[in-house]
Chain A
Amino acid sequence: MNAARPLTMTVDLAELHRRAKNMRRHMLVMARGPGQGYVGQGLGFADTLAALYFHEMHWDPKNLTMDGRDRFVLSTGHYSIALWAVLCEAGVFPLSELPTYGADDSRLAMSTIDTTPGVEMIGGSLGHGLGQAIGMALGERLRGSSARIFCELSDGELQEGSTWEAAMAASHFKLDNLVALVDCNGIQADGAVVLNMEPVADKWRAFGWETREVDGNHMESVLNALSAARVCTQRPQAIVLRTKPGYGIPSLVAREKSHFIRVDPSEWDALAAELERTEVQ
């Protein structure tokens, strides 16, 4: 039944690239305020979020709590900069709010809080997202809704045991309305991934998930994987996304792999200019 869901937006690659680029612009505006932020993770995940929010998901930016909406669960709350960017790009927040990122009383907090419109759960204590997403998927199924749940989680987060408790349960309950988006960007708090999680895709397969592995910064690949995940198989779907932190700004990608990119105040204009002249896939 999920496969029958009509697309809510036209597939237009150029349009999705334009959205992703705008989101990256928004992230630079946000990070410039505090002079730092999880801009690396955000830039790396921008393409997936653009594909989700401007193509795949059934949602309404004017009615964020719409009954029967598809839900995006951001487990890594510190990726909030990416969520604010896509919600802003969709018109949920005005552009003028972007510079408040990380400031006192801002809705655009440095980690997600569910009092901000468009946030489906409080992420950031890693290992929580998938369990809650399973509850949502079970809940929608109980209500007879065809809504789908998309849950982002990261490669570092796979080290949390609760992720695998949840992974076991999702296949047991045959949650084909659940898609895990595993962002493998190769970094965690202490730097490059400290505990080897490879082979990531095989782990998901072993836990009973229909699993695909794609370049998470290649829009068509992401779209194809999302499209394939629509097919009802009585199994949960996992998409392992290989992403590059800082993607879209080559000098940030080339930087030392760091969880928390620090940017010198004098660098922002140059980074913004670099983003403008960089063509992405």
Chain B
Amino acid sequence: MNQLRFTKAMGQDEDGAQRATLDAPFGVALTKLGAQRPEIVGLTADLGKYTDIFPFRDAFPNRFMNIGMAEQNLVGVAAGLARTGHVAFATTYGVFATRRAFDFISIGLAHSRLNVKIIAGLPGLTTGYGGTHQAIEDTGLMCMIPDLVVIDPCDATETMAATRAIADYPGPVYMRLLRGKVPIVFDDSYTFEIGKARVLASGTDVGFIATGMMTERAIDAASVLAAQGLSVGVLHVPTLKPLDTEAIASFAANVKCVLTAENHVTRGGLGTMTAEALFDAGVSRPLVRIGLPDRFIECGVVASLQERYGITTGHLIEAAAKAARRL
């Protein structure tokens, strides 16, 4: 009989990552910033423990407010704080921020371009809690809002760099949060700039255009594929809005086939936006969109679900090999 696999309650399923990790990179970066910038305040809606913001609370208790389970009010209060000169970092899960508080982010923040950063935990399929907690459509929704910056970082290094960058950016931001022990993919020389995509590997056969944690998988897939003799490029797109359409078009123009990879439904996310960018630029390439299906996902163990719904490194390798055979 097979051994049963169980998901963890509120914690993080181990994903058997090969890389070293860093604990709570967002909380570490925000606390460092808080020491330099007294105008930075932190808020959460009863999910501080699970969004890595408690290091900031412990360092600056007077500048931290737990709003309770009330996401609309979380965003509204953050907006008011921004109107009095503060830079507000507000954390909750992506599902609650985007589904419950959409109007508050859209009209309350973005319309007035207020200096608030929504930090959204459990992006895509990173929890086994089922549809209620899996933010499978969050960045698509957020990218529809004018004047909102949308970021999906890849790893611990980028999470820290992006936290610093959005603190310096004087406007509203929605950033996905990788929490807990976050893999370190990029070394310290990595630089993050809002709105800039980055070519991580050049290739001429197939090109991965990836965002968020899928970039780590694209890098791993590329090295396996390279060993099989394919020339594989990887473009990392951490900022989904404003999208670096020029980088996407020029990257795609240099490969024979494009595969997008996102921890999000493929409709309305990076896959869709890449198709639009290529069409607008007049770059015509076969396009394979890898991501989550157009359906709600059940409860289970994260690794099992990611395998079942097609966002593992193995899926990227398989899809790229298949696409290459058609060339």
Contact = CB atoms under 8 A, between A and B. Distances in A.
A165 B86 contact: no
Interface of A: 114, 120-122, 125, 127-128, 130-140, 142-143, 161-162, 165-166, 168-169, 172-173
A69 B52 CA distance: 35
Nearest to B108: A128
Interface in B78-129: 78-86, 88, 103-104, 107-108, 111-112
B73 A142 contact: no
Nearest to B41: A142
B86 to A, nearest CB: 5
A134 B86 CA distance: 13
Interface size class of chain B, counting residues whose CB lies under 8 Å from the partner chain: 20 to 34
A172 B75 CA distance: 17
Interface stretch (B61-69, B142-150, B260-268, B290-298): B61-69
A173 B70 CA distance: 15
Contact of A135 (B68, B78, B107): B78
Contacts of B79: 121, 131-132, 135
A135 B104 contact: no
Interface of B: 41, 62-63, 65, 67-68, 70, 72-73, 75-86, 88, 103-104, 107-108, 111-112
A253 to B, nearest CB: 32
Contacts of A139: 80-81, 83-86
A208 to B, nearest CB: 13
Given A121-B112, A138-B81, A173 B75 contact: no
Nearest to A126: B103
A127 B107 CA distance: 11
B84 A162 contact: no
A122 B79 CA distance: 11
A17 to B, nearest CB: 33
Contacts of A132: 76-77, 79-80, 83, 108
B145 to A, nearest CB: 13
A138 B62 CA distance: 11
A143 B85 contact: yes
